[in-house]
Chain A
Amino acid sequence: MKNMTRLGLGLLLSSSVAIAHADDVKIGMITTLSGGGSHLGVDVRDGFMLAMEQSGQDDIEVLIQDDANRPDLARSLANEFMQRDQVDILTGLIWSNLAMAVVPAVVRQGTFYLSPNAGPSDLAGRMCHENYFNVAYQNDNLHGAMGAYMREEGYEKPIILAPNYPAGTDALAGFKHLYEGDVVDELYTQMGQTDYAAEIAQIRASDADSLFFFLPGGMGISFMKQWESSGVDIPIFGAAFSFDEILIKAVGSAAIGARNTSLWAYDLDNETNHRFVETFREAYGRTPTLYAAQGFDTANLILSALEVAHPDDQDAFREALRAADFDSVRGEFRFGPNHHPIQDIYVREVVEGDDGQPTNRLLGIAIEDIQDIYYEQCQM
C-alpha cells in the first residue's frame, strides 16, 4: 500500500509539477521513470526535488517528464520543453545513449544542460560545450578508480567482464587504463543477458585471482545470484552501478563482500551529507542511492548559480555554475576545464546491515582527484 501511494505520488509528479507558479526560472527534467532501470530516474528526481523543497525558493518551476528510456521520446520532450515551455535549464537524463541524442542539440540552441548521471566520453571531449555541465561523473571514472584500487591492493591477475555495447567496452577500457597491468582475460556478454553460467564457468577455468565486472541494473542482480551458487571463490569488484542500495537488497546475501567504487557513499562523513541522508530517509522512507545524491547536488548547484545570476544572463550564469560554489554531499566538488568533475572516488564494501539486509559501508578513498582523460580534446 505504501508503495502504491508513493507510486501515485510519483505519477502526479511525473505529469508536471510546479513548486511555484511564478515563472521566474523554469527547469525541465527529462528522466527515466518507467521501463527497465527506472529506479535510477526516480532517485535522481527525488533527490533533485528534495533540494528544491529545502531551498524554499518559490520562483523556480520544475517540469518533469518521463522518457521511458527511449531516445526518440527524450528528444521530442526536449524540443517541447524548449519551444513550448521556454525552459532555461534542462537536466535529468540517466542513460548515455539518450544524452547523446538530446544534449548536443539542446546546448547548441542556447539552453543550459546539467547532467545528473550520464557522462559519455564524447561530451567530455570533442563534443564538449560551454553550456553543458556534468555534475555526476565521466563514465570512465568509477571503473578507472577500481583499476587503480585493485592494483594498489596487489591483485595481479584480474579477469574483467562487461556487456558488449559502448558503455561496456568503455568501462573495461577505463579499468585497464588505470590498472596499468595485464588482465587474464576480457569477457563480453550480450546486452540484457540474464544467464551467466557460461561466463562463470570460464572464470572458474581461468586462473584469475579477482573479478572486475560492469553489469548495470538487472544484469548485475542475475550475475551475482548465479555467482554465489557457483562455488567460485575469488573476490569480486565493480562500480557502484551494480551495487546501489536498491539493487543489493534484491541480490541478497550474494552481494556481501563485494567491493565497489562510488563518487559518494551514504555514510560519507560531512555535514551536508548527514543532513541529506537524514532528510531523504524522512521524506521517502528509504536510503538514498548515488543517483539521489547526484540529483541533490545538481539541484544545489543550480540554486547556487541562480543566487548569482539569472540564466538569461548566460555568461554570468555560466561563470556561477563553473565556480561550483555549493555544499556538495561529496564534500569537495570542482569542475575541470571541460565542465566535468574532478573528484575523489571512494571504495565501499557490501556488508550485512543491522536489519540483516545487505548495505554498503565506506572503506576509504580509491583514488584522489580523478579527472577524465578526454578534457584535452575539449575546445570551448
Chain B
Amino acid sequence: MSVTLLIEQLLNGVQLGTMLFLMASGLTLIFGVMGLINLAHGSFYMVGAYATAAVTASTGSFLIGLGAGIAAAALAGALVELIVIRRLYHRPHLDQVLATFALILIFSEGTRFIFGSSPLRLSPPSWLTGFVTLPGDTRYPIYRLVLIGVGIAISIGLYLLISRTRLGMRIRAGESDREMIGALGVNISKLYTLVFALGAGLAGLAGALVGALQSVQVGMGEPVLILAFVVIVIGGIGSIKGALFGALLVGIVDTLGRVYLPIFFRAFMPPSEATGVGAALAAMLIYILMAVILAFKPKGLFAAHD
C-alpha cells in the first residue's frame, strides 16, 4: 500500500493505456471516416507481431523486425481494404461484422498454416532489457518506459497529422461529411485505403511492441480487440481524443483495480475469499466503468458525431 507501489502501478496503467491507444486510434479512425465496424483489427495486431518475430529471428535486429512488422500490417490492411472492405461500405453494420469476423478466422488459420500452432519467440532487444531505479527505490523495466514513450510520440504525431496536414484535413472532412468530400473531388477511395492502412499499421506496431513482452501466438489480437472496443465506446466512437482519454482511463482503472480491489476487500473479509471476490470484481471493473459512463454520456466522453 506504499506510495512507490502506487507510482509503479500508475506507470503500469499508463503503459497499458498507451498500447490500447495504438489499437483504439486505428479502430476509431476507421469507424469515424468510413463508418465501418472492423472486427479484424486484432488480426493486424497479430500480423504485426508475427512479422516482427519472424524478421527479428532471421535478421537478428529488433528494429528491422519492428519496421517489417508495421509494414506487413499496413500492407495487410491495404490489401484487405482493396479486396474485401471496399464492398462493405454501403452494406448494413451486420454484414460488416459478419465479413470482418470471417477475416479473423482466415487470418488466424492462415497464420497457423504458415507458422504452425506453437507460439513464436520474440524478446525485447538486449539494449532495452533491464530496469531503471526510480525515486523511492522502485525498479521499473526500461522496455515498459520505452513503450510509454512510443505511445506518447505516436499520440503527438497523430494529433499533428490530423490537425496540421492535408491528409488530416481530408480525414476530418470525411468524418463530418462523407458524400460531400467525394463531391468536392477528393479521391475518396484512395483516402479510405490510406486510412485503413494507417490504422492497420498502428495495430501492427502495438502487436509488435507488446508481442515482445507477451506471447506471439494465434488469436493474440482478440482480447486486445475487446478492450479497444471498450475504449472507443467510452471515448466516443470516431473521436481520436476520446480514444486517447478512454485508453488511459481503461489502462489505469484496470491496473489499479487488479491490485487494490483484493486489498480493499481484505479489510472486512477473510483473505482467501477477499482475493477471489476482488479478482472477480476487478475483471468486471472496466465494463462497469463503461456502463456508468454510458448511463450519463450515452455517446461517450467525446462524441464525434452529435
Binding site for B on A (CB under 8 A): 3-4, 6-7, 33-36, 38-39, 42, 164, 169, 186-190, 192, 194-195, 197-199, 201-202, 204-205, 218-219, 221-222, 225-226, 228-232, 246-247, 249-254
Contacts and interface: CB of A to CB of B under 8 A. Distances in A.
B215 A229 contact: no
A214 to B, nearest CB: 14
Nearest to B142: A229
Given A197-B15, A198-B258, A230-B141, A250 B213 contact: no
A189 B261 CA distance: 12
B279 A189 contact: yes
Given A205-B2, A231-B139, A222 B280 contact: no
Nearest to B113: A7
B255 A228 contact: no
A250 B121 contact: yes
Given A222-B213, A229-B131, A249 B121 contact: yes
A3 B116 contact: yes
Contacts of B75: none
B215 A197 contact: no
Given A34-B117, A198-B12, A231 B141 contact: yes
The 9 closest A-B pairs by CB, nearest first: A221-B215, A188-B279, A222-B214, A197-B12, A218-B215, A250-B119, A229-B141, A231-B131, A231-B139
Contacts of B237: none
Interface stretch (B165-173, B175-183, B218-226, B241-249): B218-226
Interface stretch (B22-30, B122-130, B198-206, B287-295): B122-130
Contacts of B143: 229
Interface of B: 2, 5, 8-9, 12, 15-16, 109, 112-121, 123-124, 129-131, 139, 141-144, 210, 212-220, 223-224, 255, 258-259, 262, 271-272, 275-276, 278-280, 282-283
11 contacts: A34-B117, A36-B219, A164-B276, A201-B8, A201-B12, A218-B119, A225-B215, A229-B130, A249-B118, A250-B215, A250-B216
B159 to A, nearest CB: 26
Given A4-B114, A201-B9, A218 B279 contact: no
A253 B126 CA distance: 11
A190 B258 CA distance: 9
Given A188-B262, A246-B119, 11 more contacts: A164-B279, A192-B223, A194-B214, A197-B255, A198-B258, A201-B9, A202-B5, A221-B215, A222-B215, A231-B131, A231-B139
A186 B275 contact: yes
A188 to B, nearest CB: 4
Contacts of B130: 229, 231
A33 B118 CA distance: 11
Contacts of B282: 190
A36 B213 contact: no
B194 to A, nearest CB: 30
